[in-house]
Amino acid sequence: MMVDTASSDKVGVKLGMWLFLYTEIMLFGGLFVLYAAYYTRYTADFIQGGKSLDLFMGAFNTIILLASSFTVAGSITAVRRQKKKMALGMVFTSIVFGLLFLVNKYFEWGHKFEIGIYPGSQTLKQAGHGKSIFYGLYYVITGLHGLHIVIGMTLLSISFYFIASNRVHAERYVVLENSGLYWHLVDLIWIFIFPLFYLIL
Amino acid sequence: MEDNGVEHILSYPKLVAVLCVLFGLTAVTIVVSRIELGILNIWIAILIASIKGSFVLLFFMHLKYESRLLKMTFVGTVVCLAILIGFIFWDISFR
């Protein structure tokens, strides 16, 4: 007879995760406020900076993350309906989308590095305050977001292992749910990063 | 009212529908951003982003079917953020 000795306070565990997500919202919210304040001050530089970013890459990354949120939500449905293979497939797909996002980010950043745009570069020093701040914010915000993607992928990988080893199943899936919540937050943040950096006219 | 065991499960068709709405709104926001509307552009972009975010929150993150506590604390966070943004702009506007 297997006794589930883990805490059965599902409500508490879920609330705890949401409270943590609220702190993440305030973290990125603060960075967005920084962006907004400096946009007001250096509007022309910010608009030019925005134009230098690849809209296609940004849009493609947006689509990838939205799709990955879908697969993560789908994995929970699958687990609750006891469709183990489907759940594993969904989680795996989400992780692959995350990886694809990071690969795109690598190319985007790499391109900017090549043309001398990186924190502390001569090019930025000469380009003036506005440009420096725009790209500084770009690297900090997308960098921090990228770190969250890595953390999210780690959580999803753990969930994948738990589903495979039957630690996560239809009666006990809060680990998957919380990992999913974290991942959705990462998507949510990007939903706001995209227009702020890629869609300014 | 909240019983974790019999909680609402989102069907695949419903999830796909939400994804399609999100894709659609992404297309709209990109198209609108290419039209010169002055100061309105930013606000429309933020509005569409907020709608997209709401869909992710309500359906993918299941907030629509969660307890009152979760819903209220989320709204509380948004209010916190609004105060942060509001007061900062109130400050820098008059420097």
Residues from chain B that touch A201, judged by Cβ atoms under 8 A, are 33-34, 36, 41
Residue in chain B lying closest to A61 (CA): B26
B84 lies in some domain? yes
If one counts every other C-beta atom within 10 angstroms of the C-beta of residue A116, the result is 12
ipTM summary value = 0.89
Put simply, the answer to whether B16 touches A66 (Cβ < 8 Å) is no
Residue A147 in contact with residue A102, Cβ under 8 Å? no
**Domain topology for A10-198:** Four Helix Bundle (Hemerythrin (Met), subunit A) (1.20.120)
Q: CA–CA separation, A43 vs B45, rounded Å?
A: 16
Q: How confident is the model at residue A163 (pLDDT cuts 50, 70, 90)?
A: very high
Closest by Cβ to B88, choosing from A19, A33, A77:
A33
Per-residue DSSP letter, A1? -
Which pLDDT does position A5 carry in this prediction?
53
Q: B56 and B14 in one domain?
A: yes
Read off the pLDDT of residues A30-85 as tens digits, 9 standing for 90 and up: 999 999 999 999 999 999 999 999 999 999 999 999 999 999 999 999 999 999 99
B1 lies in some domain? no
Sign for the pseudo-dihedral over CA of A176, A178, A179, A180: positive
Q: How confident is the model at residue A2 (pLDDT cuts 50, 70, 90)?
A: low
B4 lies in some domain? no
B5 lies in some domain? no
Q: How far is CA A103 from CA A4, A57, A144, A197, B62, in A?
A: 40, 11, 16, 19, 29
Q: B48 and B19 in one domain?
A: yes
Those of residues 4-63 in A touching chain B at CB distance below 8 A are 10-11, 14-15, 18-19, 22, 25-26, 29-30, 33, 36-37, 40, 55, 59, 62-63
Q: B14 and B55 in one domain?
A: yes
B45 lies in some domain? yes
Q: pLDDT exceeding 90 applies to what percent of chain A?
A: 87
Q: B53 and B73 in one domain?
A: no
Residue B1 has pLDDT above 80, yes or no: no
Range of the domain at B16: 10-61
Rama region for A104: left / alpha / beta (φ>0; ψ in -120 to 50; rest): alpha
Read off the pLDDT of residues B19-65 as tens digits, 9 standing for 90 and up: 999 999 999 999 999 888 888 888 999 999 999 999 999 999 999 99
Q: B94 and B70 in one domain?
A: yes
Task: Round the average pLDDT of chain B to a whole number and report it.
Answer: 90
Q: B55 and B70 in one domain?
A: no
* Averaged pLDDT for residues B87-92: 91
Residue A144 has pLDDT above 80, yes or no: yes
Q: Collapse the DSSP code of A87 into the 3-class scheme (helix H, G, I; strand E, B; otherwise coil) and give the result.
A: helix
B2 lies in some domain? no
**What's this model's pTM, rounded to 2 decimal places?**
0.92
**At CB < 8 A and 24+ separation, what contacts does B30-33 make?**
B30/A55, B30/A59, B30/A199, B33/A195, B33/A199, B33/A200, B33/A201
Residue ranges per domain, chain A?
A: 10-198
B77 lies in some domain? yes
Q: B74 and B57 in one domain?
A: no
Nearest Cα neighbor of B12 from A2, A10, A86 is: A86
